[in-house]
Amino acid sequence: MCTQKDSAQFTHSESIDKLSKLAKKYAYSAPGYFAYPTFADSHNAQNVNAAELIYASRQESASIYIHIPFCRTLCFHCGCHEEVAQDRREAVEYIDRLIDEMVIYKPLLYNKRIERVHLGGGCPNFLSEHLIVKLISALYNHFTLTCDTVFSLEVDPLTTTAGQIVLFSKCGFSRISVGVQDFHDNVQRVINKVQSKEQIRSVIDTASAYGFNSINIDLFYGLPLQTVESVTENLQAAVAMDISRVTVTKYEHRPAIFPAQRELDKYPFPEENEQLMMFCNTKNFLQHHGYHLIGGDHFVLERDPLFLAVKEKRLLRNFLGYDIAYSADVLGLGVSSISHFAGSYFQNTQRRVDYYRATEQKKSPVAKVAIADRREKVTWSVIHNLLCYKQVDLQNVLTASHYQHHFQRELALLHDFEEDGLINITGSHFDVTNDGDIFLRNICSVFDVRTTNKQNFCRFSSAI
């Protein structure tokens, strides 16, 4: 339980008042930045020449993302591309088509070492043990995986068995992310994800016993029925599980895009001010317990590989969130997966039937593409630095001395943030202050040329 002492220790009313005023000032919409151009700028495309985009990259290595779309039940808050399925046999054909897709990309990536493999979804633990082994074997057969390749995955604690965790460990997986969202019964019932603390604990203890060196719990704040105290209780429960990483994301309510989220409209959401307090308490609480904030929502202990990645400057921001690799190139396999090469990216069709048809005929299932031009690559470099390290030297990004001319519009806008104490500027270098953490998306949006047209931004959720 959250004690009175805990609340007093972690809540500072003056700073909340100050941030609350600033939150009103900067309460405009902005994209979540995972790439630039942003995903909203990608367009439908047929006959995308994936080979040309892949060959545009000179990187010697790449990562692979595999999307497993199946889930046993639908969580109402879900913003992922998932399909509800009860029968595990649904995945049998899916794995065959994934292997067909590997065949398409095998000749294009034959000279690239695979640094990372990540299974996401949906629920990768929907796969039977036989299919897990078949999938991993196929990866070894089609791509250059080495003993240094790092394997990670996301799991749903409600449906993950100890046997699966042991098998994933034997297949080389060492990083795991557990979808919890909230530990309380009332909130779990609202979002239709009812799971006991014991179920969550069992997954984490098994992963820990079988050598996973990074264990993450995903939590949300801003869900219906949550209170400032209940969010702190979630953090206490997570910290008590001795995990190396906690991701605490603000829930984004977008029922027009994700219709299941309409179910949440039946219940009261926390007020904006309460949500602000939830974020501030989260940050103070987790920092007090030794966690470091990366970006706006990842909290890591120093033993977590993500912490080392920040020190070694090899942190990446991409459609998977934060990642660790030398190369930013990612090959996405499966329905809706996004591939990223040399700054441009392309997405597979979201319809399983179309994905099956294309891959069976050994044709690319790509349906959307966004090609980055030179200027957009510079923009992404700035935003990427801010998201990963909360600082950037504009002169270094351009490797030229004309940064003041190139970023004239942006430098003028940044002064407002400086006056509000959200960034410090020294010459061409600026960094985000402690108060600026929650405004990170706003600060990034300064470099997004679409900010000149605020109407364009209405389609995105609030930046704070």
* Shortest Cβ 178–ligand SF4 spacing (Å): 11
Q: Does 78 bind ligand SF4 (CB under 6 A)?
A: yes
Q: Does 376 bind ligand SF4 (CB under 6 A)?
A: no
Q: Does 80 bind ligand SF4 (CB under 6 A)?
A: yes
Q: Does 85 bind ligand SF4 (CB under 6 A)?
A: no
Measured from the CB atom, the residue of 81 and 283 that comes closer to ligand SF4 is 81
* Shortest Cβ 312–ligand SF4 spacing (Å): 31
> x/- string (CB under 6 A) for ligand SF4, residues 105-144?
----------------xxx---------------------
Answer yes or no: are the C-beta atoms of 41 and 448 closer than 8 Å: no
First to last CA, the chain: 28
Measured from the CB atom, the residue of 75 and 392 that comes closer to ligand SF4 is 75
Measured from the CB atom, the residue of 197 and 429 that comes closer to ligand SF4 is 197
Site residues for ligand SF4, 326-345, by CB under 6 A, read none
Residue 377: closest CA among 346, 409, 408, 343: 343
Structure token digits, residue 23: 């939150």
Site residues for ligand SF4, 171-190, by CB under 6 A, read 179
Which residue among 6, 82, 115, 304 contacts ligand SF4 (CB under 6 A)? 82
The DSSP secondary structure of 296-347, one letter per residue, reads TTEEE-TTSHHHHHHHTT-EEEETTEEEE-S---EEEESTT-EEEETTEEEE
Q: Does 6 bind ligand SF4 (CB under 6 A)?
A: no
Measured from the CB atom, the residue of 39 and 326 that comes closer to ligand SF4 is 39
* Shortest Cβ 118–ligand SF4 spacing (Å): 14
Which residue among 11, 39, 57, 74 contacts ligand SF4 (CB under 6 A)? 74
- CA distance to 13, 177, 241, per residue, from 216 (Å): 30, 4, 10
Which residue among 22, 62, 71, 446 contacts ligand SF4 (CB under 6 A)? 71
Q: H or E element: which one contains 416?
A: helix 408-419
Measured from the CB atom, the residue of 75 and 315 that comes closer to ligand SF4 is 75
Measured from the CB atom, the residue of 72 and 377 that comes closer to ligand SF4 is 72
Residue 284: closest CA among 228, 215, 243: 228
Residue 445: closest CA among 29, 124, 97: 29
* Shortest Cβ 83–ligand SF4 spacing (Å): 9
Measured from the CB atom, the residue of 123 and 309 that comes closer to ligand SF4 is 123
Q: Quickly tell me which residue has 């994934």 as its tokens.
A: 98
DSSP 376: H
Answer yes or no: are the C-beta atoms of 219 and 235 closer than 8 Å: yes
DSSP 128: -
Q: Tell me how many residues contact ligand SF4 (CB under 6 A).
A: 12
DSSP 462: B
Q: Does 75 bind ligand SF4 (CB under 6 A)?
A: yes
* Shortest Cβ 156–ligand SF4 spacing (Å): 4
Burial label for 73, CB within 10 Å (0-12, 13-18, 19+), is middle
Measured from the CB atom, the residue of 123 and 386 that comes closer to ligand SF4 is 123
Q: Does 157 bind ligand SF4 (CB under 6 A)?
A: no
Measured from the CB atom, the residue of 102 and 127 that comes closer to ligand SF4 is 127
Task: Compute the half-sphere exposure of residue 261: CA atoms within 13 Å on the CB side of its CA.
Answer: 14
The DSSP secondary structure of 223-277, one letter per residue, reads -TT--HHHHHHHHHHHHHTT-SEEEEEE----TTTSGGGGGGGGSPPPPHHHHHH
Question: Residue numbers of the site for ligand SF4 (CB under 6 A)?
Answer: 71, 74-75, 78, 80, 82, 121-123, 156, 179, 193
